[in-house]
């Protein structure tokens, strides 16, 4: 050690104090101690580093890194300096760099337990399983008496693929827990839990490796396994895979007897056992999710159905007659008169109780569990299940007395909704609402009314209805949220904020609180609402907020790496690690990423961020070319007009609310001062980022985490086609191909295909003409027709009026899905290509079908 790195005795003592101040978070005292040492030994590396570390904790990262670097330069041979440098990197979430520093520190002090432990946390965070396993090995060698070291070591071996060593380590751990305690201070109960969890973990590894020992081991641990539910399911699974069907049947029956009668996974297991399935069919049966069982989600032979009917009718029904699952599964299995009777019994009970979800429950029997949207209304109406439901429900609507008849009619309302007959649904719904005495019970009916109005294109009307329902039950957050959502759909942002604010903690700033509570659904809706208003910066701000939640979710795991080893809940922990690897493959994040990319595409299409004045989406026209200039001016006029309308609306609402506002206002006042200042409330700075770079960043993340989602490839193609360079044509074509693989009928994928042609030097007319022929057959939906119209104009394959006809001539007949949205988009498309005549005709056609529709 060089001379200037040695401290005098007094300073040495002070350095220990400095350490203690840091550990006990007494930062001011720590700084003082550091300064005193530095007065005497200004070049003392470790003190300089510690000073930096403390500054980092005090939220001064720039100053901090300066001190740390200076300290490290003074004393490169100190493990403390390297450790501190690693800690600062870690707190900046630069994990790879932090790991490098720790490793450097360990080169100097190879058996430093604290640094080894810290390194192991980083390694698992970075999914360096091999490195983690080695580090835990070193730790275990150093302290084999600490039993938790064996747990972490076992996990490291498991994760890095050495399952044999993992099992041996678990055995060592279990052997050490003989005196019913793990560490001093633990209770016998905690030891029992640890033994149970670790035994089940061991069995999980045995099952993963398809070891023959899995079943004998499971039987061995029967008495120590506290988690009976998992124990039984594991047993059933093994018995199925080894073909011991009678035993498997018994096992799943035992699970039902435990009170797990509504767990469809147990039913799926039972059915596999009864049918004696093996191989692919067994794997498929056990992988079923939701309300799916073999009875409704797979093709069965007549003999198989008979076996299942026998099981459900003669074994389960007598025992669990009240179970909804048993009843529902029986309905899907039975035929003829028996089916009708079973359905009738199921429906009758629910009607008597006034179960609001009966309608969607029954309709899901028609459409399977994949939802109603993908089946056409026509196919629904023609299906035998639908007609049976209709027969049974109609019967009750006519014969039941009191509320029962009303709820039966309510089911019929939902049937009409699915068939797309909104007017009839609405008038029958009015009848129901009249008939219900209790206003609170009416909330569900009114919500449905709002929903149907929305489907009919009358979002403003939907808002009114929901707001009324909300006022009937002010304590119900569900109806409050629903109202908020519709207000956002209607573009009434301020009122939406106020409404949802009735349920947030800090009434003065609902939006901040919703961000803190990671309320993604609201932020996504809010972002979309802002998009529709043309306030792209504010929209982007919200999409980025949702993206931030997912970054935080990923960050959250850090604190659990150590915790779970102590808790011994390794089974859950490992599933969390797997979840975290692809947490971005969640619909919320995908929507946020699509939103972010669309915002930056807007920037690219509108001449870059330079002109984005006032965060209001004003475009710098001077930078644009002729055609784009015209477009921008048009958009600008539209935007201003909209803005003025909005202002007037808000003004009116404000006046209305002022009276009510007073009584709510008081509580909010006190908390206002806590608000953090947002330096970029309108997202201006976000919009000014490198748009192409941001697009690429999010597309790459989507490709990595969600390659099976069509949005990924649509976005990839939309971004690529706006870029320049030799790779573009290939990229667009690849994106189009990948999107078509996922959904061959998707209109966005088709558009990308045409763009691929154009980008590779063609004119794209051939593709368009082919699709025009298909449209001519008269079975193409509105979305595709709109897309063909756009591309026909884009490529010059058709004149605008001819192109417009593609949309208009096909009519606005129901095609499933959110029809109104498609109708509106088609109108926008007609406007965009400039076919005024076609637009007029289209409006007339739609007026016929959507009498209440408001453009």
Partner 1 sequence: MVCIRMAEVSDLIQMQTTNLWCLPENYQMKYYFYHALSWPQLLWVAEDHSGKIVGYVLAKMEEDDKEPRHGHITSLAVLRTHRKRGVATMLMRNTQREMAKIFKAEYVSLHVRQSNAAAFHLYSQTLKYEINDIERGYYADGEDAYDMRCVFEENVSRERREELTREREDNERKRKEADEKGEKAKKEGEKATVVDVDENDEGIETGMEKLTVGDDQVQESN
Find the binding residues for partner 1 in span 95-114 (CB under 8 A).
109, 112-114
Six-digit token string for 521: 């659904």
Residue 504 CA to residue 526 CA, distance in Å, equals 16
CB atoms within 10 A of CB 344: 17
Element (H, E) at 100: helix 95-108
Find the binding residues for partner 1 in span 617-636 (CB under 8 A).
none
Supply the minimum distance, in Å, between the C-beta of residue 367 and partner 1.
9
Find the binding residues for partner 1 in span 642-671 (CB under 8 A).
none
Full 3-state SS string of 201-243: HHHHHHHHCCCCCHHHHHHHCCCCCCCHHHHHHHHHHHHHHCC
Six-digit token string for 37: 């040492």
Does 443 bind partner 1 (CB under 8 A)? Our answer is yes
Task: Convert residues 340-359 into a mask of x (bound to partner 1 by CB under 8 A) and - (unbound).
Answer: ----------x--xxxxx--
Does residue 291 contact residue 301 with C-beta atoms inside 8 Å? Answer: no
**SS3 at position 48:** helix
Using the rule CB under 8 A, which residue among 189, 672, 685, 837 binds partner 1? Answer: 189
Q: Which residue has the tokens 């630069």?
A: 94
Which span sits near partner 1 by CB under 8 A: 146-154, 174-182, 500-508, 610-618? 500-508
Phi-psi region of 151 (alpha: psi -120 to 50; beta: other; left: phi over 0): alpha
Does 379 bind partner 1 (CB under 8 A)? Our answer is no
Six-digit token string for 143: 């302290």
Q: Which is nearer to partner 1, 118 or 718 (CB)?
A: 118
Does 62 bind partner 1 (CB under 8 A)? Our answer is no
Find the binding residues for partner 1 in span 729-788 (CB under 8 A).
none
Residue 842 CA to residue 14 CA, distance in Å, equals 83
Q: Which is nearer to partner 1, 512 or 569 (CB)?
A: 569
Supply the minimum distance, in Å, between the C-beta of residue 713 and partner 1.
23
Six-digit token string for 495: 């009122």
φ, ψ for residue 258, nearest 5 deg: -75, -10
Supply the minimum distance, in Å, between the C-beta of residue 607 and partner 1.
38
Of residues 239, 241, 222, the one with CA closest to residue 231: 222
The DSSP code sequence of 467-485 is: HHHHHH-TT-HHHHHHHHH
Supply the minimum distance, in Å, between the C-beta of residue 819 and partner 1.
20
Which span sits near partner 1 by CB under 8 A: 14-22, 486-494, 707-715, 750-758? 14-22
Q: What's CA 824's distance to the chain center, in Å? A: 27
Q: Which is nearer to partner 1, 122 or 691 (CB)?
A: 122
Does residue 784 contact residue 817 with C-beta atoms inside 8 Å? Answer: no
Residue 624 CA to residue 125 CA, distance in Å, equals 47
Neighbouring residues of 193: CB distance < 8 A, sequence distance ≥ 6:
226, 568
Find the binding residues for partner 1 in span 796-825 (CB under 8 A).
none
Using the rule CB under 8 A, which residue among 171, 263, 421, 794 binds partner 1? Answer: 263
Phi-psi region of 133 (alpha: psi -120 to 50; beta: other; left: phi over 0): alpha
613 bridge partner residues: 618
Using the rule CB under 8 A, which residue among 66, 227, 618, 769 binds partner 1? Answer: 227
Does 521 bind partner 1 (CB under 8 A)? Our answer is yes
Does 533 bind partner 1 (CB under 8 A)? Our answer is no
Which span sits near partner 1 by CB under 8 A: 146-154, 228-236, 392-400, 634-642? 228-236
Q: Which is nearer to partner 1, 567 or 832 (CB)?
A: 567
Residue 195 CA to residue 177 CA, distance in Å, equals 8
Q: Which is nearer to partner 1, 269 or 753 (CB)?
A: 269
Q: Which is nearer to partner 1, 36 or 369 (CB)?
A: 369
Using the rule CB under 8 A, which residue among 74, 239, 444, 694 binds partner 1? Answer: 444
Angle between helices 560-567 and 570-581 (to 10 degrees): 160
Phi-psi region of 253 (alpha: psi -120 to 50; beta: other; left: phi over 0): alpha
Does 427 bind partner 1 (CB under 8 A)? Our answer is no
Q: Which is nearer to partner 1, 559 or 727 (CB)?
A: 559
Q: Which is nearer to partner 1, 183 or 516 (CB)?
A: 516
Residue 562 CA to residue 309 CA, distance in Å, equals 50
Task: Convert residues 22-61 into a mask of x (bound to partner 1 by CB under 8 A) and - (unbound).
Answer: xx-x---------------------------x--------
618 bridge partner residues: 613
Which span sits near partner 1 by CB under 8 A: 142-150, 460-468, 510-518, 594-602? 510-518
Supply the minimum distance, in Å, between the C-beta of residue 156 and partner 1.
18
Supply the minimum distance, in Å, between the C-beta of residue 1 and partner 1.
11
Q: Which is nearer to partner 1, 477 or 649 (CB)?
A: 477
Q: Which is nearer to partner 1, 155 or 798 (CB)?
A: 155
Q: Which is nearer to partner 1, 479 or 784 (CB)?
A: 479
Q: Which is nearer to partner 1, 245 or 324 (CB)?
A: 324
Does 328 bind partner 1 (CB under 8 A)? Our answer is yes
Neighbouring residues of 684: CB distance < 8 A, sequence distance ≥ 6:
537, 612, 615
Does 207 bind partner 1 (CB under 8 A)? Our answer is no
Does residue 29 contact residue 50 with C-beta atoms inside 8 Å? Answer: no
Task: Convert residues 272-301 into a mask of x (bound to partner 1 by CB under 8 A) and - (unbound).
Answer: -----------------xxx----------
φ, ψ for residue 618, nearest 5 deg: -75, 140
Does 840 bind partner 1 (CB under 8 A)? Our answer is no
Does 13 bind partner 1 (CB under 8 A)? Our answer is yes
Supply the minimum distance, in Å, between the C-beta of residue 247 and partner 1.
23
Find the binding residues for partner 1 in span 557-586 (CB under 8 A).
557-560, 562-564, 567, 569, 571-573, 575-576, 579, 586
Does 834 bind partner 1 (CB under 8 A)? Our answer is no
Does 504 bind partner 1 (CB under 8 A)? Our answer is yes
Supply the minimum distance, in Å, between the C-beta of residue 444 and partner 1.
7
Supply the minimum distance, in Å, between the C-beta of residue 254 and partner 1.
14
With CB under 8 A, what is the number of residues at the site for partner 1? 94
Supply the minimum distance, in Å, between the C-beta of residue 125 and partner 1.
11
63 vs 49, 53, 56, 68, 90, CA distance in Å?
11, 10, 8, 9, 16
Residue 516 CA to residue 525 CA, distance in Å, equals 17
Supply the minimum distance, in Å, between the C-beta of residue 556 and partner 1.
4
Q: Which is nearer to partner 1, 112 or 780 (CB)?
A: 112
Supply the minimum distance, in Å, between the C-beta of residue 207 and partner 1.
17
Q: Which is nearer to partner 1, 208 or 516 (CB)?
A: 516
φ, ψ for residue 613, nearest 5 deg: -85, 145
Q: Which residue has the tokens 């490796």?
A: 209
Does 79 bind partner 1 (CB under 8 A)? Our answer is yes
Does 518 bind partner 1 (CB under 8 A)? Our answer is yes
Does residue 601 contact residue 720 with C-beta atoms inside 8 Å? Answer: no
Angle between helices 536-556 and 587-605 (to 10 degrees): 140
Neighbouring residues of 53: CB distance < 8 A, sequence distance ≥ 6:
22, 64, 68, 84, 87, 88
Does 264 bind partner 1 (CB under 8 A)? Our answer is yes
Q: Which is nearer to partner 1, 66 or 361 (CB)?
A: 361
Q: Which is nearer to partner 1, 270 or 573 (CB)?
A: 573
The DSSP code sequence of 494-526 is: HHHHHHHHTTSS-GGGHHHHHHHTT-HHHHHHH
Does residue 715 contact residue 594 with C-beta atoms inside 8 Å? Answer: yes
CB atoms within 10 A of CB 745: 11
Supply the minimum distance, in Å, between the C-beta of residue 481 and partner 1.
5
């Amino acid at each position: 050690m060089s001379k200037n790195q040695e401290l005098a005795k007094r300073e040495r003592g002070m350095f220990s104090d400095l350490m203690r101040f840091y550990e006990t978070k007494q930062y001011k005292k720590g700084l003082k101690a550091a300064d005193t040492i530095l007065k005497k030994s200004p070049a003392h590396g470790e003190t300089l580093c510690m000073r930096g570390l403390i500054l980092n904790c005090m939220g001064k990262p720039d100053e901090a890194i300066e001190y740390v670097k200076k300290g490290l330069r003074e004393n490169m041979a100190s493990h403390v300096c390297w450790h501190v440098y690693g800690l600062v990197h870690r707190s900046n979430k630069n994990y790879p760099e932090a790991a490098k520093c720790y490793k450097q520190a360990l080169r100097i002090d190879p058996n430093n337990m604290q640094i080894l432990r810290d390194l192991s946390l980083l390694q698992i965070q970075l999914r360096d399983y091999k490195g983690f396993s080695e580090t835990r090995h070193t730790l275990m060698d150093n302290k084999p008496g600490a039993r938790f070291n064996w747990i972490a070591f076992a996990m490291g071996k498991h994760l890095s693929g050495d399952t044999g060593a993992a099992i041996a380590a678990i055995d060592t751990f279990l052997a050490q827990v003989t005196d019913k305690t793990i560490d001093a201070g633990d209770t016998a109960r905690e030891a029992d839990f640890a033994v149970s969890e670790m035994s089940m973990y061991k069995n999980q590894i045995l099952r993963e490796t398809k070891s023959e020992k899995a079943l004998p081991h499971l039987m061995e641990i029967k008495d120590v396994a506290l988690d009976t539910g998992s124990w039984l399911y594991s047993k059933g699974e093994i018995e199925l895979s080894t073909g011991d069907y009678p035993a498997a049947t018994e096992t799943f029956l035992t699970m039902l007897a435990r009170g797990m009668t509504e767990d469809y996974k147990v039913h799926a297991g039972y059915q596999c056992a009864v049918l004696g399935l093996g191989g692919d069919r067994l794997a498929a049966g056990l992988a079923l999710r939701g309300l799916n069982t073999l009875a409704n989600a797979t093709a069965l032979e007549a003999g198989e159905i008979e076996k299942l009917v026998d099981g459900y009718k003669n074994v389960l029904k007598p025992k669990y007659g009240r179970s909804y699952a048993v009843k529902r599964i029986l309905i899907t299995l039975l035929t003829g008169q028996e089916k009708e009777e079973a359905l009738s019994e199921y429906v009758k009970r629910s009607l008597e109780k006034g179960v609001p979800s009966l309608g969607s429950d029954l309709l899901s029997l028609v459409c399977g569990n994949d939802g109603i949207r993908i089946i056409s209304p026509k196919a629904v109406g023609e299906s035998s299940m639908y007609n049976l439901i209709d027969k049974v429900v109609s019967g009750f609507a006519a014969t039941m007395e009191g509320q029962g008849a009303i709820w039966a009619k309510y089911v019929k309302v939902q049937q009409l909704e699915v068939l797309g007959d909104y007017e009839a649904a609405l008038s029958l719904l009015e009848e129901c609402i009249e008939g219900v005495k209790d206003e609170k019970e009416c909330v569900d009916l009114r919500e449905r009314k709002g929903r149907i109005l929305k489907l009919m294109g009358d979002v403003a009307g939907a808002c009114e209805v929901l707001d009324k329902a909300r006022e009937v039950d002010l304590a119900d957050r569900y109806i409050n949220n629903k109202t908020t959502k519709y207000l956002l759909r209607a573009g009434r942002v301020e009122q939406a904020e106020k409404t949802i604010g009735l349920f947030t903690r800090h009434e003065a700033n609902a939006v901040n609180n919703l961000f803190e509570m990671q309320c993604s659904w609201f932020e996504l809706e809010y972002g979309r609402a802002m998009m529709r208003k043309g306030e792209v910066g504010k929209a982007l701000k919200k999409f980025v907020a949702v993206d931030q939640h997912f970054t935080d979710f990923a960050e959250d795991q850090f604190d659990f790496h150590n915790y779970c080893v102590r808790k011994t809940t390794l089974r859950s922990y490992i599933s969390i690690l797997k979840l975290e690897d692809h947490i971005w493959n969640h619909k919320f994040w995908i929507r946020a990423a699509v939103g972010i990319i669309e915002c930056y595409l807007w920037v690219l299409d509108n001449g870059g961020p330079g002109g984005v004045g006032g965060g209001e989406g004003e475009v710098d026209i001077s930078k644009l070319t002729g055609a784009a200039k015209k477009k921008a001016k048009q958009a600008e006029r539209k935007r201003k007009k909209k803005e003025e309308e909005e202002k007037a609306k808000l003004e009116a609402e404000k006046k209305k609310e002022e009276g009510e506002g007073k009584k709510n206002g008081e509580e909010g006042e006190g908390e206002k001062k806590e608000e953090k200042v947002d330096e970029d409330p309108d997202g201006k700075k976000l919009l000014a980022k490198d748009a192409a770079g941001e697009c690429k960043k999010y597309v790459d993340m989507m490709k990595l985490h969600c390659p099976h989602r069509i949005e990924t490839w649509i976005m990839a193609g939309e971004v690529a086609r706006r870029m320049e360079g030799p790779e573009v044509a290939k990229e667009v074509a690849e994106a189009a191909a990948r999107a078509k693989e996922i959904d061959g009928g998707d209109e966005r994928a088709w558009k990308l295909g045409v763009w691929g042609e154009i980008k590779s030097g063609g004119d794209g007319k051939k593709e368009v003409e082919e699709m025009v022929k298909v449209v001519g057959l008269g079975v193409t939906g509105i979305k595709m027709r709109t897309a063909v119209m756009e591309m026909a104009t884009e490529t010059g394959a058709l004149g605008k009026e001819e192109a417009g006809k593609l949309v208009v001539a096909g009519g606005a007949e129901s095609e499933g899905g959110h029809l109104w949205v498609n109708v509106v988009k088609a109108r926008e498309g007609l406007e965009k290509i400039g076919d005024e005549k076609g637009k007029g005709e289209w409006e007339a056609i739609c007026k016929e079908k959507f009498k209440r529709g408001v453009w």
